[in-house]
Structure 1
Amino acid sequence: MSFFEEKNPEMDRYLETHASSEPEMLRKLRRETYQKTTQPHMISGYQQGRLLTIISQMMQPENILEIGTFTGYATLCLTAGMANNGKITTLDVNEDLAYLPRKYFAESDFSGQIDFRLQDAKEFLKETNEMFDLVFIDADKENYAEYFRLIKPRTKSGSVVMFDNVLWYGKVLEENPKQKSTQVIKELNDLIAKDDDFENLILPLRDGVNFLRRK
């Protein structure tokens, strides 16, 4: 649950009621995530999932990167608009939970286009030569600034990058935060705002999404 949902759950319900319906597979995955994981709030969820789906459908990307798979909800949303020859690489390090996204990826129409890897994202980004059209990051917050630095060379003009949880339950308003994750998220938001190679907007959806487009 986000900072904003806690403040106004009625508005959140209204927003969900007046958006496109959630596909059945995603509904099943969301339900199973709440049944079988200890931190189900980490799932991207309905509203954010609709945003990811629409962006992907508008872009029709050929190469997508996701950092932080969790149970695969956002992954499946991102596949919805992939080009016919497209692929998505999704990275996580949680071996104990890997069975759940694998199950739903296998059932997906895009099963052959999903490359699910149990690999450290920094390691991957330092090794790969791939360029990405669309990138979504929802992983360990203490590495957010480093992810931005490593991802930038892997983007091109028109590439879109999204960082989740960039408002961090409102903690980004703290002037001198003691929590390392808050410090890094503030650093990330500052880095992005000052980078002339990108144009960006922070969307106050759930816990905040920093939405970037490479010029």
Structure 2
Amino acid sequence: MAKLTLIPPAIEEYALAHTTPPEPLLAELQEFTYAHMPGAGMQVGVTAGTFLRLLVALTGARRVLELGTFTGYSALMMAGALPDDGELVTCDVNPRHAEVAQRFFDKSPHGRKIQLRLGAALETLESLRGPFDLVFIDADKGGYGAYWDAVVPKVRSGGLLVADNVLWSGRVLSPEAPDDHAVVAFNAKVAADPRVEQVLLTVRDGMLLARKR
């Protein structure tokens, strides 16, 4: 199935123009990522990043868990909304991603709130103790179902789980590739989970929000 343009570019530009602009360091990180990193499209955009930051602020989160660091844009966005004694644990399996992310964390006053764990996320999760107030899942799509099973017990009652790319460029409507089917299965899994109430939003490539009961 061909990739769908979910939102017209002109609308995306309009939304961006009416969104609080990122701090200079975040703009620098975005420019570096697109100039030097393969798969730069994996980086969350300004609107999605700002949305995550607002979610952290609105929920009053103090402990955040992120699966899928990439170059650290979303982690820095969310860390900026944490209190001074807040904590964000971010997990990635790619050493190059982690090296770039840590370099930018070290440049930010919010970087001290971030703990970067390098390694397979499911193994890292075994060593982490909850509860977390907010979890952001944005790693390999084939692992989404397993990540969900691992993180839901670590989220406090009333806490928030967020998953990115849940519309998968429209391929959820007619899945073909393994990752397509994995995203479809994940969305169905969350929808059938009695532990949460959820909404699937058409933000960027689709973001699913689930509040743990």
Normalized against structure 1, the TM-score is what?
Answer: 0.93
**Once the 2 structures are TM-superposed, how far is the Cα of residue 81 of structure 1 from its aligned partner?**
1.6
* Residues 92 and 118 in structure 2, CA contact (< 8 A), matched pair in contact too: yes
Would you say 1:210 and 2:208 are equivalent positions? Answer: yes
* Residues 21 and 46 in structure 2, CA contact (< 8 A), matched pair in contact too: no
Q: Distance in 2 between matches of 1:185 and 1:82?
A: 29
Match of 1:180 in 2: 178
Match of 1:50 in 2: 50
Specify which of 190, 193, 196 is matched with residue 192 of structure 1: 190
**Once the 2 structures are TM-superposed, how far is the Cα of residue 106 of structure 1 from its aligned partner?**
0.4
* Residues 76 and 111 in structure 2, CA contact (< 8 A), matched pair in contact too: no
**Once the 2 structures are TM-superposed, how far is the Cα of residue 41 of structure 1 from its aligned partner?**
0.7
Deviations 1:85-132 (A, max 9, x none): 210000001112322111110011122211011121111222322211
Deviations 1:20-46 (A, max 9, x none): 122111111100101110111110011
Q: Distance in 1 between matches of 2:190 and 2:118?
A: 28
Deviates more, 1:177-186 or 1:26-35: 177-186
* Residues 56 and 80 in structure 1, CA contact (< 8 A), matched pair in contact too: no
Q: Give 3-state SS (helix, strand or coil) of 1:89's partner.
A: strand
Match of 1:15 in 2: 15
* Residues 132 and 156 in structure 1, CA contact (< 8 A), matched pair in contact too: yes
Q: Distance in 2 between matches of 1:23 and 1:127?
A: 33
Would you say 1:67 and 2:55 are equivalent positions? Answer: no
Question: What fraction of aligned residue pairs are identical, expressed as a percent?
Answer: 32
* Residues 117 and 124 in structure 2, CA contact (< 8 A), matched pair in contact too: no
Q: Give 3-state SS (helix, strand or coil) of 1:70's partner.
A: coil
Q: Distance in 2 between matches of 1:96 and 1:184?
A: 26
* Residues 56 and 82 in structure 2, CA contact (< 8 A), matched pair in contact too: yes
Q: Distance in 2 between matches of 1:127 and 1:206?
A: 32
Would you say 1:142 and 2:168 are equivalent positions? Answer: no
**Once the 2 structures are TM-superposed, how far is the Cα of residue 3 of structure 1 from its aligned partner?**
4.1
Match of 2:88 in 1: 88
Q: Distance in 1 between matches of 2:146 and 2:97?
A: 25
* Residues 89 and 114 in structure 1, CA contact (< 8 A), matched pair in contact too: yes
- Listed as ranges, the gaps of 5+ residues in structure 2 are none
* Residues 57 and 81 in structure 2, CA contact (< 8 A), matched pair in contact too: yes
Normalized against structure 2, the TM-score is what?
Answer: 0.94
The residue identity in structure 2 corresponding to 1:148 is W
- Listed as ranges, the gaps of 5+ residues in structure 1 are none
Deviates more, 1:22-31 or 1:177-186: 177-186
* Residues 68 and 137 in structure 1, CA contact (< 8 A), matched pair in contact too: yes
* Residues 69 and 97 in structure 2, CA contact (< 8 A), matched pair in contact too: no
The residue identity in structure 2 corresponding to 1:84 is D
Q: Distance in 2 between matches of 1:154 and 1:61?
A: 14
Q: Distance in 2 between matches of 1:102 and 1:3?
A: 34
RMSD over aligned Cα, in angstroms?
A: 1.4
